[in-house]
Structure 1
Amino acid sequence: PSWSELPISRVQTVEKGPLSTGSQSAGKSLQMQITNPAIASLPVYSAAQTSAGEASSQIDLQKFSSYYRMDAPESEAQLTSPAEIDLNDLAPQMIYYGSDQKAVPYSQYQSYAASTGANSLWISGKSSWTQYAVVPIGSYLDMIAITPAGGYGNLYKIYPDATLDRNDYSFYPYNLIGFYASDLGEHQLFFNVDGQPSNVIVIYVVPYEQMQPSYGLASITIRSTWLRGYNLYVDGSYAATEGTTGEEDGVLTVNVPGDQSHNIAIDGSGMTFSDSKYFQAGYAYQLNI
């Protein structure tokens, strides 16, 4: 394993990619805050008037950023009709169940889905699917609807005010359905084909405000091309597990108080690593494994 670093101000102005000490592209900066109670009260963002709930929403938006986009769609409809897809083109590596984001390898889920033949609905990301996501108002996302036999059915949506809306569609076995986040609050969606309801997915729409990170913190990113499911510990306290934060595979990012030393430890898949290092405030550090 090896460390690299860049000032956060530079990280924000270059393309996403591995951090380096030269002129190569820099990686993501701030992604999530460590759950260590000793530092949980430290602000991650510099917007002084932002409430705790709003700050949490902005952190969630970073966590789920791989599931939504802000580009304008061809249609302004809140839902698009099911379009047939080749599932092999969109198959994920990992899926996440429920609001607690329980991670399951897609290969394991495939075996279960094939044996039950159940209808299922997912939010599609760059390399994973989820049943829960926090997205900004005005964003767009794709849903994957799977119904083995296909046929005529209904897509239901429960709005934040508890209003129930029904759309009648003809479903293919594998469908891509677009969703436009036009209303703040919690949206619940599910579909029914041949009398068999799917699972419910939850899309929580929040206000969006571009916020700058506080330079009182240092950002630490762990990046590996092969290690998966590893646990990260900061100063002996559990911080996070790879594959549960919505970041790309092998990547895990946390924030720590800057201008002091911290012990960074990793374990998983038979590998253990521990290193104590001084982290300067306002810098983004990357540990390459």
Structure 2
Amino acid sequence: MPEGHTLHRLALDLGAAFGGDLTWSSSPQGRFAEGAARIGPRVMEGAEAYGKQLFVRFAGLEEQVRVHLGLIGGLAIHSGLPEPGAVGDLDARPVVGQVRWRLESVRAWADLRGATVCTLITPDEKAAYLAKLGPDPLRDDADPERAWRRINRSRVTIGALLMDQGVLAGVGNVYRAEVLFRHNLDPFLEGRFLRRDEWDAIWGDLVGLMAYGVTHNRIDTVRPEHEPEAMGRAPREDDHGGEVYVYRRTHLPCLVCGTPVRTEVLAGRNLFWCPRCQPRSRRRTPVRG
């Protein structure tokens, strides 16, 4: 499932491709036909992300489009002119695959496929939905204190809490494994045992790592001394791209200590960690406040 940085990058790319332009919407697949009919033709005002949610707004329309890509969804943005006089004509830009929502203008078009959610929502519905989400490390309006209050009183493991979108929005399986490794934290430590300085370090690291992901459109979490050139090792080959410490490195040697990386299902996803760099915690006293 795409992590939060991917949605923030898509919001920026949509704004660059369509912002301020007159757009047309359609639903070749048919599942978003009613919503597409309400959208266009209208000027696209902008797009924003919150966690793993994408919101697109249009001039003169109270509702916004809410998109959640889910496990297999993707939004492909293309640039290029259609045949003369064919703006808004799907025949000018052939449909490939099950396109749930097509957005197009004179200079670009975008196709949404495989998304879990693509719907119009009212301002009240959006506000109610966002109220259920935790702070997003990539947003300027994020309040990490909200997440800390949830974590500080929880008996759930920190490895599971980081994946709970109601605690922290936008963090997925890669970032949770990597940030816990980078701070030598036991993924199975209950939230109530986490120290405040550790939470502050996790939050600050996520802000930096995820911002890098937006800029470079990939996840890189290794420090300079552990990059392939510095260690004399081959670059990582994986469809997710980027250099990581433990994610999808089961049984491979830890880049720091050489211990084989382990994996176990936690919160419905495979958790990866190094048993030596992240030893099981013996803490038994909850942190207060």
Q: TM-score, normalised by structure 2?
A: 0.24
Higher relative contact order (CA 8 A, sep 6+): 1
In terms of fraction of residues, the more strand-rich structure is 1
TM-score, length basis structure 1: 0.24
Question: Relative to total residues, which structure has the larger helix share, 1 or 2?
Answer: 2
